[in-house]
Amino acid sequence: MLRLGEKIIVIADSLEQNLPIGGYGYIIAYDRNNDNIFDYVIRVPKDNKHYYVPASDIELEEVLLHQQADQVEREALIDFALATKNEELFRKIMNGEPSGQQEVERDKDVQSTEDFIKQIGLKAWI
């Protein structure tokens, strides 16, 4: 649950209330009534209005700025990998994990034949 006074950005208008999408506002109250869909009351200074909104229509400004910074960083790394023809870096960025880690993880799962035979022997005795 978001705290009172936090700066938010309107990201959607799911109930078609003519919310200013992309505009900022502040949380001024919680709507504690369980019988309706609204979670917060926000104040949008640009429109000089209060709106009742569900939690899915708003997001913290900090979260959106962090997501945008991550996206810009990822795009810059992709451009760098393409410019330097660094295939390993490109694959790491596109897959979300390094290609070397996949091979190491696969090797950890593989048992030696002696360990496998010991394990089968133990299960057979039980």
Can you give the CATH number for the domain in which 29 is found? 2.30.30.40
Surface-to-core class of residue 25, CB atoms within 10 Å of its CB (0-12 exposed, 13-18 middle, 19+ buried):
buried
Question: What pLDDT does 121 receive?
Answer: 74
Q: Identify whether residues 13 and 51 lie together within a single domain.
A: yes
Domain carrying residue 73: 63-110
Q: What is the pLDDT of residues 60-111, one digit of tens each?
A: 989 999 999 999 999 999 999 889 988 888 888 888 765 455 555 555 566 6
Q: Identify whether residues 51 and 41 lie together within a single domain.
A: yes
2 domain-assigned? no
Q: What is the pLDDT of residues 8-55, one digit of tens each?
A: 999 999 999 999 999 999 999 998 888 888 999 999 999 999 999 999
Q: Identify whether residues 83 and 103 lie together within a single domain.
A: yes
120 domain-assigned? no
- 80 versus 123: the higher-pLDDT residue is 80
Total domain count for the chain? 2
Q: Identify whether residues 18 and 35 lie together within a single domain.
A: yes
Q: Sorting pLDDT into bands at 50, 70 and 90, what band is 1?
A: confident
Q: Identify whether residues 56 and 13 lie together within a single domain.
A: yes
Task: State in Å, rounded, how far the first CA of the chain is from the last one.
Answer: 52
